[in-house]
Structure 1
């Protein structure tokens, strides 16, 4: 069985490749720039070059592939068309299973981040390639940027009110994807994936526990949070996306209680405190 991972040089993609290697599978790593995964090639990984904008290169990259994980691109505004190129190439290649890394509650998810995932899932609905949706919730790593400053200030800001976010370590989502790619019975399935369900008060406590210093949560209006993120140096559009995500968390849109992640992993998801402790160390 030949298993390919698109976007294999990215943070999630590389972790999926590592998980596949641990499963005893020698994966195909599809990347735009092979130089970024030279270390994987040295370990025997089959590195193939293709961008999501190049159907001919995607055809070459998926030649002989049985199963493929489509990890979403990072060019906002272009992603549905790019993902469609991968889906069509998978159809032409006769791929037996395409797994797509999506977002929770895609049928009703209003987040800015969700819209291109929703568009991609619509393409998959009409596609001929058998597929499975891996609807990953938030990464705990999303909270590690500026974590040292948060600990120093003793305050975690946000606009999630009392909503819960079902996060997990990025490596957990990667391991779950590898399980799906290397076992049978997943075609047609939709997995809503998330780990521990924390309010931001509990999230601040996890940061506090990891740091050994008191950290509290301070809720602020969405617009003020976006402005604060922008003042901290984030791009205005990205700041708006993050503040919008917090507003979605307030409404429960990233609160996943399916248990699907734990079932796929065969173990509990990694606690947030472990991810924060590793980041601080």
Structure 2
């Protein structure tokens, strides 16, 4: 069995490759990457490296030749995700791939979350494809907050418009280990898995975790969406990006990432990584 991982040098994809190498022979793994030089360490470990961008259907078809399973790690390019995912799905079909696993977003087909539409469209396309599929609906990554550590250390504050909303997040390696299990064990075809951490934390708890990592007391300072947007613009972000980031806070305030599901723990066979541990890196 040959398994291809797209985005194999990215933050999530590289962890999936590491997880797969614990049980699979390196020559059975295909790292699909944009930058071959960046993948040199994988090649040194015996992993096949094939170059293909999500925007290049022909290169994707070549990359998937002889592959049995593909992990489609969702594109990082918000706004361009669906056409890029479509290229991957169609290339996998053309290459005769048997099973495609996709990293989606929690409750993607029913959520009003700002990131949901492109995931919803991708899931709908997968449902009409000829591929056997598994959808991994990942909740938030703890590491999404790593960038807050330095600011928290400087200011002692976590300013956000998340209200009293909670996040059922987990570490990237938790989601990566789950993907590796799905790719290497039987019985996952046709399944949609809601993957979350084993607890949900609010922003008071997040501030405390940031404080523990930063080495000082940090307090959560609730703000309005408009206040967060204005602060981000003042820090140099364009209006569109600032508005989008502030909307993600509002989505949390509305409870869109709060629901805890046991499936991730069941797949990986252990508790998910604590927030502080993930923030420490």
Asked if 1:204 corresponds to 2:207, the answer is yes
Q: Report if aligned partners of 2:149, 2:213 keep a CA contact under 8 Å in 1.
A: no
* TM superposition score normalised by structure 1: 0.94
Unpaired segments of 5 or more residues in structure 1? none
Q: Tell me: CA distance 1:21–1:170, structure 2 relative to 1, closer, same or farther (3 Å).
A: same
CA offset digits 1:172-201 (Å, max 9, x no partner): 111111111111111111111111300111
Asked if 1:13 corresponds to 2:13, the answer is yes
Q: Report if aligned partners of 1:104, 1:256 keep a CA contact under 8 Å in 2.
A: no
Distance between the aligned counterparts of 2:216 and 2:16, measured in 1?
34
Distance between the aligned counterparts of 1:158 and 1:141, measured in 2?
17
The corresponding residue for 2:191 is 189
Match of residue 262, structure 1, among 233, 240, 265:
265
The residue correspondences of 1:136-151 to structure 2 (distance < 5 A) are 136-151=138-153
Q: Report the CA distance between 1:54 and its aligned residue.
A: 1.8
Match of residue 232, structure 1, among 211, 235, 242:
235
Q: Report the CA distance between 1:24 and its aligned residue.
A: 2.6
Q: Report the CA distance between 1:133 and its aligned residue.
A: 0.7
Q: Provide the alpha-carbon RMSD of the alignment.
A: 1.5
The corresponding residue for 1:167 is 169
Q: Report the CA distance between 1:17 and its aligned residue.
A: 1.0
Asked if 1:64 corresponds to 2:44, the answer is no
* TM superposition score normalised by structure 2: 0.94
CA offset digits 1:181-239 (Å, max 9, x no partner): 11111111111111130011111122223334211111100121122123234454333
SS at match of 1:11: coil
Asked if 1:4 corresponds to 2:4, the answer is yes
Aligned length: 278
The corresponding residue for 2:24 is 24
Q: Report the CA distance between 1:86 and its aligned residue.
A: 1.0
Match of residue 40, structure 2, among 13, 38, 41:
38
CA offset digits 1:116-169 (Å, max 9, x no partner): 111111111111101011111111111111412212311111111111101111
Distance between the aligned counterparts of 1:58 and 1:42, measured in 2?
22
Q: Report if aligned partners of 1:67, 1:96 keep a CA contact under 8 Å in 2.
A: yes
